[in-house]
Amino acid sequence: MHFDRNALENFDSRYRAALINSVSGYKPANLVGTANASGQSNLAVMSSVVHLGSHPPLLALVVRPGGDERHTLANLLASGEYTINHINRAIYRQAHQTAARYPAEQSEFAACGLTEQWLDGFSAPFVAEATVQIGMQLRQHMPLEINATHLVIGEIVALTLPDAALRSDGSLDLASADTVALSGLDEYLQASRLARLSYAKPDQPLREIEE
Amino acid sequence: MHFDRNALENFDSRYRAALINSVSGYKPANLVGTANASGQSNLAVMSSVVHLGSHPPLLALVVRPGGDERHTLANLLASGEYTINHINRAIYRQAHQTAARYPAEQSEFAACGLTEQWLDGFSAPFVAEATVQIGMQLRQHMPLEINATHLVIGEIVALTLPDAALRSDGSLDLASADTVALSGLDEYLQASRLARLSYAKPDQPLREIEE
């Protein structure tokens, strides 16, 4: 099946949204936690976290200004801090429910059955049920004029991981941490390893890394 | 296990790279195809494609200037076109091998056993072995000064999909398309569905979407 630009333009908007949201491939499934100046918490499911670099450790996040993500953006710009929490198999339904349009004064934590966890000296709440929790400090905010989204660049300043998922080389076994993936707007998936492959060099065959 | 900023700063650089590359969660596994003005092709495995919006249909890509990605960046800036091809179970080893540092005059297609596929009037090659192929036109290029990476924003102008993977609502069944996910620097994974969940509303229970 082949679609050209004209066909894409003429799709019904919901059909196009479902399609375009799924063509990039699997997406990371995270909950982004923030709080406003009064300590009122907010939690939003987001699939747009992308690795930017490891030294300094930077992650970027694409935020859409509509709906719940508006509160997330306002909070993190005001406080300069936010959390990224992996969605796992035990909480993906609660995580999806955070996308409902709750009023600003209602926290998605309580409304969706998730628990706030606060770290001393850090103004944004973590998700207690998440075993991979990342504390972020805002480094740069770039509005993207092309479609009125926002690129938020932050530095990892705190990182909590399950011991059993951390391999000896520093990589994380996401499947053993029960982290899930997202596809499109609504599909949650579990993953299993095909292989870890050695660093590629021009004239050497790849070998499998067993750990 | 908990790491603060100081601990992250003091890790060995390879350990830190393995860790920070895996903390964002699952990543999409794509091959980005480009060509230079003489038609010399280049192919690079990339895990940084992120959905930016569906109307217009925009995807962003984080490109690192080192190694093979340098040729990708130079080519797409010069030609204004590139392709994004899903890595599937049949080709993930060949895809990983494209990360080796081949000289500019050697195409990763031939070196890694993948086949160029050209679309009339489009200057970048697709990967014939990929069943999900996306033709992109460059819309915006933003160097990110914070760590000398580049944000490349493009519009989808051509899209080829396997019929059987396209659902009636427009979403793509990535698992049935055999698309794989990446974790960290070297781990390839297959995925299987936990559930598709209905659009979340404040006072309604979620239901599963069966298709």
pLDDT at A209 (0 to 100): 96
Task: For B179, name the nearest residue in chain A, comparing CA atoms only.
Answer: A25
pLDDT in tens, B82-108: 999 999 999 999 999 999 999 888 999
Q: What is the CA radius of gyration of chain B?
A: 18
Report CB contact under 8 Å: A170, B62: no
pLDDT at residue B66, rounded to an integer: 77
CA distance A130 to chain B (A): 12
Distance CA B131, CA B153 (A): 23
Summary mean pLDDT of chain A: 96
* pLDDT confidence band for A69 (50 / 70 / 90): confident
Does the distance separating the beta carbons of B89 and A194 come in below 8 Å?
Answer: yes
Q: Say yes or no to pLDDT of B27 above 80.
A: yes
Q: What percent of chain A has pLDDT over 70?
A: 100
Q: Nearest CB to A96: which of B53, B62, B206?
A: B206
Size of interface A-B (CB pairs under 8 A): 348
Nearest to A181 among B16, B48, B181 (CB): B181
Asked if A44 is an interface residue toward chain B (Cβ–Cβ < 8 A), one would say no
Categorize the per-residue pLDDT at A65 as very low, low, confident or very high, splitting at 50, 70 and 90. confident
Separation of alpha carbons B97 and B182, rounded Å: 14
Which pLDDT score is estimated for A97?
Answer: 98
Min Cα–Cα distance to chain A from B38, Å: 23
What is the structure's pLDDT at A164? 97
* Residue B127 β-bridge partners: B116
Cβ count within 10 A of residue A37: 9
Q: What is the pLDDT of residue A66?
A: 77
pLDDT (0 to 100) of residue A185? 97
Report the 3 state secondary structure along chain A. Answer: CEEEHHHHHHCCHHHHHHHHHHCCCCEECEEEEEECCCCCEEEEEECCEEEEEECCEEEEEEECCCCCHHHHHHHHHHHCEEEEEECECCCHHHHHHCCCCCCCCCCHHHHHCCCEECCCCCCCCEECCCCCEEEEEEEEEEEECCCCEEEEEEEEEEEECCHHHECCCCCECCCCCCECEEECCCEEEEEEEEEEECCCCCCCCCCEECC
Count, residues in chain B: 211
What one-letter code names the amino acid at B86? H
Contact A44, A108 (CB under 8 A): yes
Nearest to B188 among A47, A184, A197 (CB): A197
Residues of chain A neighbouring B4 (CB-CB closer than 8 A): 157-158
Q: Give me the mean pLDDT over the A70-87 stretch.
A: 97
CATH topology of domain A26-190: Pnp Oxidase; Chain A (2.30.110)
CA angle A120–A124–A130, rounded 5-degree value = 90
Do residue B146 and residue A198 have CB atoms under 8 angstroms apart? no
What local confidence, expressed as pLDDT, does residue B211 receive? 87
- Does the distance separating the beta carbons of B62 and A17 come in below 8 Å? no
Q: What are phi and psi of A86, to 5 degrees?
A: -65, 135
Which stretches within chain B are classed as H helix?
5-10, 13-22, 69-79, 92-97, 108-112
* pLDDT bucket at A156, cuts 50 / 70 / 90: very high
- Give the model's confidence band at A104: pLDDT under 50 very low, under 70 low, under 90 confident, else very high: confident
What pLDDT, on a 0 to 100 scale, did the predictor assign at position B65?
Answer: 83
- Asked, as a colleague might, if the bond just before A28 is cis with ω within 30 of 0, I would say no
Residue A197 pLDDT: 98
pLDDT (average), residues A106-126: 97
In terms of Cα–Cα distance, which of B132, B159, B50 is closest to A11?
B159
Contact A191 B190 (CB under 8 A): yes
User: What does the pLDDT look like over B149-187, one tens digit per residue?
Assistant: 999 999 999 999 999 999 999 999 999 999 999 999 999
CA A203/CA A10 separation, integer angstroms = 47
Cβ within 8 Å of residue B176, ≥6 positions away: B162, B164, B165
CATH class assigned to B27-209: mainly beta
Q: How far is A188 from chain B (nearest CA, A)?
A: 6
Residues from chain B contacting residue A14 (CB–CB below 8 Å) = 169-170
Residue B189 parent element (H or E): strand B187-197
Q: ipTM value of the model?
A: 0.97
CB contact under 8 A, B180 and A194: yes
Residue of A nearest to B150 (CA): A52
